[in-house]
A and B are shown apart, each in its own frame.
Chain A
Amino acid sequence: MSLDQVNAGAPALEEARRQLEICNACRYCEGYCAVFPAMTRQKAFADGDLTQLANLCHNCRGCYYACQYTEPHEFALNLPAALADVRVESWERYAWPTGLAPMFQRNGLAIAMAVIAGFALLFAAVAALPGGGEGFYAYLSHGAMVAIFLPAFVFPMVAIGIALRRYWADVGGKALRASDVTGALHDAGRMKNLDGGQGQGCNFEDGDRFSNARRIAHQLILYGFLLCFASTSVATLMHYLMGWEAPYGFWTPPKMLGVPGGILLVAGVLWMASLKVKADHDLGAKNVAGGEIWFYIVLLVVAASGLLLYALGGTGAVAVMLPLHLGSVLTFFLLMPYSKMVHGFFRLAALMRDRQDKG
């Protein structure tokens, strides 16, 4: 049974279909983003088409403020919200194992905090065991860290891979060409679909006025995260290939990548959260405010504890900071397939799928 059939008649899909059929008879918003040119390639919208358009939508909201048919008009269009609902539902539907994602979207903050606390206690307990090593490894042996974090990294990649395969089948994706991938990475790297079509940005924190604040804040988070990830990867390579073990000084690749990455991540998350507070909640997905907040808090704890760990290195605070940092990183990875973090993977897939139709 295809997932489409399971979901047939879902209210979010029905509402998105109703709205897009009105949009398709207007088309004034064609220049804002990739959604509208993709929409005009169709006359009728199957569930898979709607899912693809929903994941292509970056919620820039340009179409909402430009729309002559939003409420109180009887057509009651609110395309950013309609597509956000379809998008979030699609992530929940495709998530593996099925059924975990909705639980996190509704109760995410409590679960994430409990998981971080649990892991932190566990690490603290393990660290209390007698060990031999330098720096962090004085607390937790390198072998133990690898034994814990390798599966914790592999599991979410497998889970997300399964979810993306389900998505790709539903949206009619074809075999990937190199240009699909490079094109999608190019769009994501510049957040093309939040630039309003002409670089003026999106309508987010200030009503119908355009701004690039959200676009920049998002890229601080994205590039901050990638720098942190690169830092860990480089350190792993240094450890295994060069036998160069932690702790690393400031003028070493792991720190040169990780410190700026952590700072960008903290700044980006705080800025994005402040923008979210100002934005109109009626233009986003229903029922997920909690699901987004816990993701931001986990990211913030990961980045801030990592920075503090470095800043406080050599002091007794490490005994507190290290379990907190390791616990939050582990939580971040294990819960990734059920958190807002999956949006990046689905967006990339949607951008690649869109490239295939553009030819």
Chain B
Amino acid sequence: MSDLAGVDWDLVVVGGGNAALCAAIEAAETGARVVLLEGAPEFYRGGNSRHTRNFRCMHRGPLSVLTDAYGEDEYYDDLIRVTKGQTDEGLARLAITTSEDCLPWMENHGVRFQPSLSGTLSLSRTNAFFLGGGKALVNAYYNTAEDLGVAIAYEAQVKHVVVTGGRFEAVEVEIGGERLTIRGRAVVLASGGFQSDLDWLARAWGPAARNFLIRGTPYNRGVVLKDMLDQGAESVGDPTQCHAVAIDGRAPQYDGGIVTRLDCVPFSVVVNRDGERFYDEGEDVWPKRYAIWGRLVAAQPDQVGYSLIDAKSRDLFMPSVFPPIEAGSIGELAEKMGLPREKVEATVAAFNAACRPGTFHPTELDGLATEGLEPAKTNWARPLDTPPYYGYSLRPGVTFTYLGLKVDDTARVTGPEGRYENVWAAGEIMAGSILGQGYLAGFGMTIGTVFGRIAGREAAAHVA
């Protein structure tokens, strides 16, 4: 590995996920000598990209697996809705309009798409799904990068980015216990956010964050982000916030990924540790609500919720990775889940009594609401009365953090004295510029691809 230090690289790419790979490939295609430093071991390479499944893409007509059309304004409106306006319009529109060219580029660099997965038909117009998911995309890009001669180092933890007078000189990196200085003429920082550093998360969000699960890679610890901010790089995004969804409470601490999601909430009664309901479970269809439930559960005692259903609802949602707790009565279910039996029985009895007859329709807002109950359940409110009963625990699962580096429309990073001469950033480490709040499915991969490619091209042009 020490031979990496002996080369004067044109471009050093810090990180090994989608954005990093797009940057490395673009630069290598111009003939630049590129080294990519991935902090994870080879198996876990690819950061959060390895857990992704699709790419949100603008298109004026049918494109690859995408049906119909998805125009710039509709895409932008969707973004405004989830971010509540907290975005940089110029960068956002750049990401959106460039996404259309990215899809064929991705296909030309080994990525394969497949039609929308079963159970996700609502995304078939807006999101192109990767055949095999994000890890297959990551594998394809690593193969492409290797074929282009990109040098790849795994378990290469960048500790410090050496910037002098607004100019990048080198990175200090630890590879297999050995500390090296790798010099380069330009750098692309694509090493993600800080959500895997629970201490940092707890300092930012509060001590309750120690009970959060991290949905993706354990390697996004924000070391490079912090190093750059300490050196005066300009930041964007709320430093205290993370994006969290409600996931299966039995998920592993890290890397549980897609399979730990639970889609049962709209058909259930959700109680907290004390056996009390705390929010309208039927406010909207689940794809529009799963994100707020991360926050809702995080606000409950011990950061945990319990979703209870009966046999009627068992087959209305995607299978869960862990089987539910099963019982013949609500009281027994409460006991098996470690909840106060009488309290849960009373909560469910009150809920059942507040349900009204009507037509239940699981796939649309059916208006089947409770009456005289606080908080109300405004759709899909059916009594829990058909054994067996099932229960799932819910915990907040953190997807990403919002704090990032400020970039311009060439993905160049801004330092204390204006833009750095030769420092670019792409992916989660700068996504806070565009996603100030909320999340739009498949948009993280769009930001990573668009800005990764821009960063790689700009950096290569700089050193040419």
> Is A290 interfacial (CB-CB < 8 Å)?
no
A284 interfacial contact with B, CB 8 Å: no
User: How many angstroms from the CA of A21 to the CA of B143 in the assembled complex?
Assistant: 30
CA distance A209 to B319 in the complex (A): 31
B67 to chain A, nearest CB (A): 16
Flag if A25 contacts B319 (CB, 8 Å): yes
Report whether B318 and A25 are in contact in the complex, using a CB–CB cutoff of 8 Å.
Answer: yes
Q: Does B339 contact A (CB under 8 A)?
A: no
Are A21 and B321 in contact, with the CB atoms below 8 A? yes
- Which segment of B55-63, B85-93, B126-134 sits at the interface? B126-134
> Of A25, A29, A74, A209, which one neighbours B259 at CB under 8 angstroms?
A25
B255 x A73 contact (CB < 8 A): yes
Q: Is B257 engaged at the interface, CB distance under 8 Å to the other chain?
A: yes
Complex alpha-carbon distance, A21 and B136, angstroms: 21
- The stretch from B111-119, B202-210, B292-300 touching chain A is B111-119
Residues of B within 8 A of A68 (CB): 50-51, 133-135, 255, 257
Given A22-B259, A72-B43, A198-B112, check contact A28 B119 (CB 8 Å): no
Centre residue among A66, A68, A200 by max chain B CB count within 10 A: A68
Q: Quick one: which of A26, A37, A208 contacts B133, CB cutoff 8 A? A: A26
Task: Verify if B315 is at the interface (C-beta below 8 Å from A).
Answer: yes
How distant is the Cα of A21 from the Cα of B130 in the complex, in angstroms? Answer: 21
Q: Are B132 and A28 in touch, CB under 8 angstroms?
A: yes
Q: Digitize A31-58: 1 where CB-to-B-CB distance is under 8 Å, 0 elsewhere.
A: 1100001001001000000000000000
Q: B117 to A27, Cβ gap below 8 A?
A: yes
Give Cα A208–Cα B129 distance, bound, in whole angstroms.
19
In the bound assembly, the distance between CA atoms of A26 and B119 in angstroms comes to: 11
B136 contacts which of A26, A37, A65 (Cβ < 8 Å)?
A: A65
Instruction: Given A30-B117, A40-B118, decide whether A25 and B132 contact each other with a Cβ distance below 8 A.
Output: no
- Asked whether, in the complex, the Cβ of B132 is within 8 Å of the Cβ of A32, the reply is yes
A contact residues around B117 at 8 Å (CB): 27-28, 30
B117 vs chain A, min Cβ distance (A): 5
B114 touches A197 (CB 8 A): yes
* A29–B133 touching, CB < 8 Å: yes
User: Within the complex, what minimum Cβ distance (angstroms) separates A28 from chain B?
Assistant: 3
B457 within 8 A of A: no
Assess A208 versus B143: contact at CB under 8 Å? Given A31-B114, A198-B131: yes
Chain B contacts of A66 at CB under 8 A? 131-133, 135-136, 139
Residues of A within 8 A of B259 (CB): 22, 25-26, 69, 75
A24 contacts the other chain (Cβ, under 8 Å)?
Answer: yes
Query: How long is the Cα–Cα vector from A73 to B255 in the complex, in angstroms?
Result: 8
* CA gap between A30 and B257 in the complex, in Å: 17
Distance to closest chain A CB from B254 (angstroms) = 10
In the complex, per-residue mask of B133-162: 1 if CB is within 8 Å of any chain A CB, else 0? 111100100010000000000000000000
Cβ contact of A29, chosen from B132, B257, B261, B318, cutoff 8 A: B132
Shortest beta-carbon distance from A354 to chain B in Å: 16
A28 interface neighbour in B53, B252, B321, Cβ under 8 Å: B53
B134: chain A residues at CB < 8 Å are 28, 68
Given contacts A30-B114, A72-B43, A209-B143, contact A25 B258 (CB under 8 A): yes
Q: Give every chain B residue within 8 A of A21 (Cβ-Cβ).
A: 319, 321, 323
> With an 8 A cutoff between CB atoms, is B2 at the interface?
no
Q: Check A27 against B119 for contact (C-beta < 8 Å).
A: yes
CA A65 to CA B115, docked complex, whole Å: 20
Whether the pair A31, B135 counts as a contact (CB closer than 8 A) is no
Question: Is there a chain A Cβ closer than 8 Å to B30's Cβ?
Answer: no
- In the assembly, what is the distance between CA of A81 and CA of B310, in Å? 36
In angstroms, Cα B115 to Cα A25, docked, is 17
A4 to B82, CA, bound (A): 51
B386 part of interface (Cβ distance < 8 Å): no
Query: Is B132 within 8 A of A63, CB to CB?
Result: yes
- The contact string, 1 if C-beta is below 8 Å from chain B, for chain A 225-257, is 000000000000000000000000000000000
Contact indicator per residue, chain B 307-325, by CB within 8 Å of chain A (1) or not (0): 0000000010011110100
Contact of B321 among A25, A65, A70, A209 (CB under 8 A): A25
Specify which of B112, B143, B258, B315 is in contact with A26 (CB 8 Å cutoff): B258
Question: From residue 96 to 154 of chain A, which have CB atoms closer than 8 A to chain B?
Answer: none
Docked pose: A22 CA to B248 CA in angstroms: 13
Query: Which residue of B has the minimal Cβ distance to A23?
Result: B259
The residue of chain A having its C-beta at the shortest distance from the C-beta of B112 within the complex is A198
Distance of A208 Cα from B43 Cα, bound (Å): 12
In Å, the complex CA distance between A30 and B131 comes to 8
The complex places the Cα of A73 from the Cα of B321 at a distance, in Å, of 15
Report the bound CA distance from A22 to B261 in whole Å. 12
Instruction: List the B side residues contacting A62 at CB < 8 Å.
Output: 132, 136
Name the CB-closest residue of A to B146. Answer: A209
Q: Which residue of B lies closest to A24 (CB)?
A: B319
Distance of A264 from chain B, by nearest CB (Å): 31
A132 to B312, CA, bound (A): 80
Q: Does A270 contact B (CB under 8 A)?
A: no
Residues of A within 8 A of B261 (CB): 25
Decide if A216 is an interface residue (CB 8 Å cutoff): no
Nearest CB on B from A67, distance (A):
7
Residues of A within 8 A of B50 (CB): 68
Q: Which residue of B lies closest to A31 (CB)?
A: B114
Q: Is the CB of B315 within 8 A of A43?
A: yes
CB of B145 to closest CB in A, whole Å: 13
Q: Which residues of B contact A37 (CB under 8 A)?
A: 118
- Nearest residue (CB) in B for A206 is B143
27 contacts between A and B (CB under 8 A): A21-B319, A25-B259, A25-B320, A26-B133, A27-B117, A28-B129, A28-B130, A28-B133, A28-B134, A29-B133, A31-B112, A32-B131, A43-B319, A65-B139, A66-B131, A68-B50, A68-B51, A68-B133, A69-B257, A72-B43, A74-B252, A75-B259, A197-B114, A197-B131, A198-B131, A200-B112, A208-B139
Residues of B participating in the A interface, judged by any CB pair closer than 8 Å: 43, 50-51, 53, 112, 114-115, 117-119, 129-136, 139, 143, 252, 255, 257-259, 261, 315, 318-321, 323
Binding site for B on A (CB under 8 A): 21-22, 24-32, 37, 40, 43, 62-63, 65-70, 72-75, 197-198, 200, 208-209
